[in-house]
A and B are shown apart, each in its own frame.
Chain A
Amino acid sequence: MESRNGNLVELRNVHKVYFRDRIEVPVLQGIDLTIREGEFVALMGPSGSGKSTLLNLIAGIDSPTDGEVRVAGESLGTLKPGKLAAWRARHIGFIFQLYNLIPVLTAYQNVELPLLLTKLSAKERKKRVLKVLGLVGLEARAKHFPRQLSGGEEQRVAIARAIVADPTLLVADEPTGDLDAKNAAEILTLLQRLHAELEKTILMVTHDPHAAERAEKTLHLDKGVLQP
């Protein structure tokens, strides 16, 4: 994986505009952003500031109206949809606020999902799934369904799913937004561990200042503009 000057994420003059019933809603205006390899960055801002949109652009599930988004050496705008999906599978691990586990699959099967896209054998996949489940402390619950897990446990499975394919960048959208204080703290500790021990690059969107404290550096977004 190629990176220039150790920069994993580079955004140049990125604009994003939405259309709601023909009315233009500018969400991001002239964003310049750099994230280096191995950084743990928090992105804060009031609701409606465009944080999630920015995250989506970096994760490659949305594209800017103007400007360039380079992640892990690729300019995302140049990739065709099929290639973009493959790129995403390889480089991005996504953690959602509402966990978004697939209810009809067990914890094990949920974590295995990204690996199905690879050429690994079933045995290899099993090895990796159990490894990351162990990492998040839920090996014993591998065969349980999401409805049998608590909120905190579900989010940990989601994190396991996000790292099982060893992605370049972890993006988390309000990972503790739906959890109580205790569980939130546990999740944040886990993220810090991933950053420290596995040297994962993490971009976390949050509106909770306690969560942002756990990151190395915090960026502020307001009304679609990054505060200096």
Chain B
Amino acid sequence: MKYFRLIWANLLRAKRRTFLTVFSIAIALFLFCTLRTVITSFEASLRASEATRLVVRHGASLVFPLPLAYRERLVQVPGVNGVSYGNWFGGFYQDPKNQFAQFAMDVPTMFDLFPELVMPADQVQAFRSERTAAIIGKALAKKYGWKLGDQVPIIGTIFPGEWRFVVRGIYEGKTKDVDENTLFFHWDYLNESLPEGRKNQVGIYWIRVASPDLAADVSRRVDAMFENSPQPTKTETEKAFQAGFISMIGNIQLLLTIIGSAIVFAIMLVTVNTMMMAARERTTEIAVLKTLGYSDGLILRLVAGEALLVSLLGGLLGCGLAALVFHESDFTASGFFPNFRVLPETIVAGLLLAVLMGILSGIVPAVTAARLEVASALRKVA
């Protein structure tokens, strides 16, 4: 629009000040995107969950196992068309700090129940046919530099000792939200190595239902089936299961929101101050524009437009930087955030926030300029 040059020229008037302001807004938005991404990466598992997959675990807590015998009964539940199972292994590689997920899985059924694990057929075959074989996610392979054929020793914490696996497959996730930081190996291999008293115990069962609307019914039916047995179950959709994990983190989301708000507010104060300083220097000019016939409303829009432009520039810079920095990075904070990437929704939210900041910080200077009395302003000069 034709007034753009006027607005732009005003920004260039005090280059250093504009630069500093744009940068502080960029910083605020960079932090906003980062904090928001902490929350969205927690929720990645929610986005990746399948609507037809249910999780069956011990009713008391994940800590207690379920009998292997349950498998036969689960297969026969009406509406169920697939059953698999696995145990959380919970070990580490070399140093307790190197933690990532390891699961002992029932290999014959796992690929049926988890179609989002994409792997070439020959690797699937190699994995199936070798007892000590393991498959690892692409991101995990990249992090530790593991290749096909490598021997990976894992120190167990729940199942003590050093366990050796051979990498026979590297899987990819079907979508970006699927976690690629897990190691899967044979459940049978784990089971046969355990002492008698601990054999044939399953950590989690996964069952697939024919359609999502059967989920609630099947869950109820399964739990009713085992209600009075020594190992009662709790069955829920995978999404609910993952959500339960996330809620265990408790108030962290609230805390991050508090911090994020403090940041945005602090930077806004800085920006308002800058805008007001800039406005104070321009009273004469604004008076002149008014003598030329620029109306109060137009002046208000011009000053507000300046604030908006500065904020938008800062927003683009900050959000863009966040997207770039975390784009292909390995940042996982030692396994806490397997999938730390900035979602498009986060960037849009950031830009909207920048616009809001622009509007709020521009209000006072814009209204002041609009209300400026020409005659008195001119009198001050000459």
B262 contacts A by Cβ under 8 Å: no
Cross-chain contact A117 with B6 (CB below 8 angstroms): no
Q: Which of A86, A92, A105, A116 has the most CB of B within 10 A?
A: A116
Task: Please report whether the interface of chain B is mostly helix, strand, loop or mixed according to DSSP.
Answer: helix
Q: Nearest Cβ in chain A — how far from B288, in angstroms? A: 5
Q: Nearest Cβ in chain B — how far from A2, in angstroms? A: 19
B73 contacts A by Cβ under 8 Å: no
Task: Count how many chain B residues have C-beta atoms less than 8 Å from C-beta atoms of the other chain.
Answer: 27
Contacts of B292 in A (CB 8 A): 88-89, 94, 113-114, 117, 161
Bitwise, B273-313 to A at CB < 8 A (1) or not (0) is 00000000000110011111111111000000000000000
Cross-chain contact A94 with B13 (CB below 8 angstroms): no
Q: Nearest Cβ in chain A — how far from B381, in angstroms? A: 6
| Pick from B284, B294, B382: contact of A97, CB under 8 Å | B382
Closest to B296 in A: A81
Cross-chain contact B382 with A96 (CB below 8 angstroms): yes
Contacts of B321 in A (CB 8 A): none
Residues 313-355 (chain B) with a chain A CB within 8 angstroms: none
Cross-chain contact A98 with B296 (CB below 8 angstroms): no
Known contacts: A104-B13, A174-B382. The answer to whether A85 contacts B288 by CB under 8 A is: no
Closest to A178 in B: B382
Known contacts: A113-B289, A114-B292. The answer to whether A62 contacts B382 by CB under 8 A is: no
B144 contacts A by Cβ under 8 Å: no
Bitwise, A23-50 to B at CB < 8 A (1) or not (0) is 0000000000000000000000000000
Q: Nearest Cβ in chain A — how far from B282, in angstroms? A: 9
A90 contacts B by Cβ under 8 Å: yes
| Pick from A86, A88, A103, A117: contact of B291, CB under 8 Å | A88
Q: Which of B12, B13, B295, B297 has the most CB of A within 10 A?
A: B295
Closest to A120 in B: B2
Tally of A-B Cβ pairs under 8 angstroms:
80
| Pick from A90, A102, A173: contact of B293, CB under 8 Å | A90
Contacts of A87 in B (CB 8 A): 293
Contacts of B289 in A (CB 8 A): 113
Q: Nearest Cβ in chain A — how far from B293, in angstroms? A: 2
A72 contacts B by Cβ under 8 Å: no
Q: Given the complex of chains A and B, what is the CA–CA distance between A59 and B374 in angstroms? A: 11
A228 contacts B by Cβ under 8 Å: no
Closest to B284 in A: A100
| Pick from A62, A100, A109, A117: contact of B9, CB under 8 Å | A109
Q: Nearest Cβ in chain A — how far from B279, in angstroms? A: 15
Bitwise, B340-382 to A at CB < 8 A (1) or not (0) is 0000000000000000000000000000000000110011011
Q: Nearest Cβ in chain B — how far from A111, in angstroms? A: 11
Q: Nearest Cβ in chain A — how far from B5, in angstroms? A: 6
B182 contacts A by Cβ under 8 Å: no
Closest to A81 in B: B296
A149 contacts B by Cβ under 8 Å: no
Q: Given the complex of chains A and B, what is the CA–CA distance between A146 and B310 in angstroms? A: 25
Known contacts: A56-B375, A104-B9, A109-B9. The answer to whether A89 contacts B293 by CB under 8 A is: yes
Residues 52-111 (chain A) with a chain B CB within 8 angstroms: 52-53, 56, 59, 61-62, 81-82, 85-90, 92, 94, 96-98, 100, 102-105, 109
Q: Given the complex of chains A and B, what is the CA–CA distance between A109 and B3 in angstroms? A: 11
| Pick from B2, B381, B382: contact of A122, CB under 8 Å | B2
Closest to A161 in B: B292
B10 contacts A by Cβ under 8 Å: yes
Q: Given the complex of chains A and B, what is the CA–CA distance between A116 and B13 in angstroms? A: 20
Contacts of A92 in B (CB 8 A): 291, 293
Closest to A56 in B: B375
Q: Given the complex of chains A and B, what is the CA–CA distance between A122 and B289 in angstroms? A: 20
Q: Which of A59, A117, A161 has the most CB of B within 10 A?
A: A117
Contacts of B13 in A (CB 8 A): 103-104
Q: Nearest Cβ in chain B — how far from A6, in angstroms? A: 24
Cross-chain contact A117 with B293 (CB below 8 angstroms): yes
Contacts of B297 in A (CB 8 A): 82
Q: Nearest Cβ in chain B — how far from A146, in angstroms? A: 12
Known contacts: A81-B296, A82-B296, A100-B288. The answer to whether A61 contacts B374 by CB under 8 A is: yes
Of the A-B pairs whose beta carbons lie under 8 Å apart in the complex, a sample of 13, sorted by A's number, is A56-B375, A61-B290, A61-B375, A81-B295, A88-B291, A89-B292, A100-B284, A102-B285, A102-B288, A109-B6, A114-B293, A116-B6, A161-B292
Contacts A52-B379, A100-B284, A113-B6 known; list 12 others, CB within 8 Å.
Answer: A59-B291, A85-B293, A89-B293, A94-B292, A100-B288, A103-B13, A104-B13, A105-B9, A117-B292, A122-B2, A174-B382, A177-B382
Binding site for B on A (CB under 8 A): 52-53, 56, 59, 61-62, 81-82, 85-90, 92, 94, 96-98, 100, 102-105, 109, 113-114, 116-117, 122, 161, 173-174, 177
